[in-house]
Amino acid sequence: MSSSNQNVASQLRKLIEDGHYPQGERLGEEAVAEQLGISRTPVRLAFRTLEQEGLLKRAGKRGFMVREFTDADVHCAVEVRGVLEGLAARRLAEHGVSSQQREEFEFWIHKGREVLDKGYLVEEDIQSWIELNWHFHELIVCSAGSGVIADAISRNNHLPFAAAASIVIDKGKLSHEYRKLQLAQLHHELIFQSLVNGEGARVEMLMREHALIGIRYSELL
Amino acid sequence: MSSSNQNVASQLRKLIEDGHYPQGERLGEEAVAEQLGISRTPVRLAFRTLEQEGLLKRAGKRGFMVREFTDADVHCAVEVRGVLEGLAARRLAEHGVSSQQREEFEFWIHKGREVLDKGYLVEEDIQSWIELNWHFHELIVCSAGSGVIADAISRNNHLPFAAAASIVIDKGKLSHEYRKLQLAQLHHELIFQSLVNGEGARVEMLMREHALIGIRYSELL
DNA sequence: TTTCTTTCTTTTGGATCCAAAGTAAAGGCT
DNA sequence: AGCCTTTACTTTGGATCCAAAAGAAAGAAA
């Protein structure tokens, strides 16, 4: 069971997200090390990384505990992503979209149409959407002209419920999710329009609203 | 020379900010450990922390290097703080300001008036302003009802040029800086007004503009 | 002379050990 | 019996050691 340093952080992240360690539980270095079959050293390194990511927090004088998240935290994390992606989009609009970026946008928008054009969703579509959605957002963030915004978003996305991929929740009610993705696709296309038109204020507002799909639209669609 | 784990990160942060290690320079664990008079272990831990903070980045397959920042990075870091503090302020406005928070705001605004009322700046005023300014911003961020926003801002503030404290730059031209702080004070008071009036949109806009004082107002004031 | 390969050096990752700090527990005192 | 003190145990922080990987340098072949 080889585990390079970053891999340990990933494993721990997954264990926490999967609820293997309940929120608020205290994590001992020794215990975690034993569970992963490694020594304490890489665990200690991973703890520092996870602490910065906000998944762990210091438990008093000694050790770490799994951070507890309130509903307000979830809402805020989504809003944080909204304002940051909004900032990235506005900068891109103000700076201008290159022809290559334009093509990439069109490619991922086309992919989105492909998923939705048949009028309903199947299981595989969810993974397709997650991927194209990720690429679309990544394209905006990476085109903002500075890694600082990308970093801030990336750090925020370490909170599992904050990432853009968390749009699709309920795999049971696919017909219900279809309308959600339909709206998300509409957002994508509006955002693309605004970007190429250089409408900074509008694209920022659209991005911010787009981020809220996961938490404020569920009961309405 | 005792150096607890977090202290090592602080020391390294300071060394980097002071330009002791030039941007782009590769940092060896052994070398840094020797300079700080400690062993490699705490240095390795600190590197992971600094990496997450964005001050270090991985140098290829092996080791870390001091991250290089462009002008765009500086600008973005300030804008990131602006949108995040703006989000925090809007949430506070929408949620309502408690009477205790109101008193604290009034206290720090009063402190600001004290600094500026005599009509000019002296050396000591700078430190006073940095402190009251910090408290004012901290009050907004911590009142947003979720640690997630505070964390995001805190992480961004690890970039030295991004922190709100970086408003005062030139200690030589104090008369020049006076007008800047005068405007900042005006912002603070407008922000306070909007907050207590529940004007979410306005206070968000004000906070965002307020963040830009450090980079967009210098040549105009 | 250039390039590919092999060897050697440097540096990092992981494991283990020791000391120090924290916490829990036991015992003594009021 | 309750509380304080002292003791024992647990857990973390730092140092050192070893192995593996990356990089550099040297040597051989074309």
Quickly give A95 CA vs D25 C1' distance in Å: 47
Mean pLDDT on B53-81: 94
Report the pLDDT value the prediction gives residue B2, as an integer from 0 to 100: 37
Cross-strand partners of A18: none
pLDDT cut 70: percent of chain B above it: 96
Separation of alpha carbons B164 and B178, rounded Å = 17
pLDDT band at B129 (very low <50, low <70, confident <90, very high): very high
Chain B residues with CB inside 8 Å of A76's CB? 87, 91, 144-146, 148-149
More confident residue, A173 or A3: A173
Q: CA Rg, chain A, in Å?
A: 19
Q: Which nucleotides of C are covered by protein (CB under 7 A)?
A: 11-17, 21-23
A146 vs B contacts (CB less than 8 Å)? 70, 72-73, 75-76
Burial of B209 from C-beta contacts in 10 A (0-12 / 13-18 / 19+): middle
Residue A1 has pLDDT above 50, yes or no: no
Of A53, A72, A156, the CB nearest to B52: A53
Please name the residue that has the structure tokens 């390079």: A4
Share of chain B above pLDDT 90, in %: 83
Which pLDDT belongs to residue A6?
Answer: 79
A78's tokens:
């989504």
Residue B1: pLDDT band by 50, 70, 90 thresholds? Answer: very low
> How confident is the model over A124-167, as pLDDT tens digits?
999 999 999 999 999 999 999 999 999 999 999 999 889 887 77
pLDDT single digits (tens) B173-206 = 788 889 999 999 999 999 999 999 999 999 999 9
Contact B155 A48 (CB under 8 A): no
Mean pLDDT, chain A, integer: 93
Is residue A168's pLDDT more than 90?
no
Task: Give long-range contacts, CB 8 A cutoff, 24+ apart: A135-140.
Answer: A135/A104, A135/A108, A136/A105, A136/A108, A136/A109, A136/A112, A136/A188, A137/A85, A137/A164, A139/A101, A139/A104, A139/A105, A139/A108, A140/A85, A140/A88, A140/A89, A140/A92, A140/A191, A140/A195, A140/A207
Taking 80 as the threshold, does the pLDDT of residue B84 lie above it? yes
First vs last C-alpha separation in chain A: 45
pLDDT of residue B176: 84
Sorted by sequence, the CB contacts under 8 Å of residue A33 that are 6+ apart come out as A39, A40, A42, A43
Average pLDDT, stretch A33-54? 95
Place of tokens 């038109």: A197
Residue of B148, B156, B158, B159 to mutate, testing the A interface (most A Cβ within 10 Å of its Cβ): B148
| Structure-block tokens of residue B135 | 């408290």
> How far is Cα B159 from Cα B143, in angstroms, rounded to an integer?
23
| Percentages of chain A per state (helix, strand, coil), in multiples of 5 | 70, 5, 25
pLDDT of residue B160: 87
Q: Are A72 and B146 in contact (CB under 8 A)?
A: yes
Angle at A50 between CA A49 and CA A54, to 5 degrees: 120
pLDDT value of position B6: 79
Percentage of residues of chain A with pLDDT beyond 90? 83
* Contact residues, chain A to chain B, C-beta under 8 Å: 41, 44-45, 48-49, 51-54, 70, 72-73, 75-77, 79-80, 83-84, 86-87, 91, 144-149, 151-152, 155-156, 159, 162
Q: Hey, of A80, A91, A204, which one would you mutate to test binding to chain B, going by the most B CBs within 10 A of its CB?
A: A80
Residue A17 distance to chain B (closest CA, Å): 17
The length of chain A, given as a count of residues: 221
- For residue B157, give the chain A residue with the closest CA: A152
Domains of chain B: 5-66 (1.10.10.10), 71-216 (1.20.120.530)
pLDDT of residue A2: 38
What is chain B's mean pLDDT, rounded? 93
How far is it, in rounded angstroms, from Cα A67 to Cα A13?
A: 12
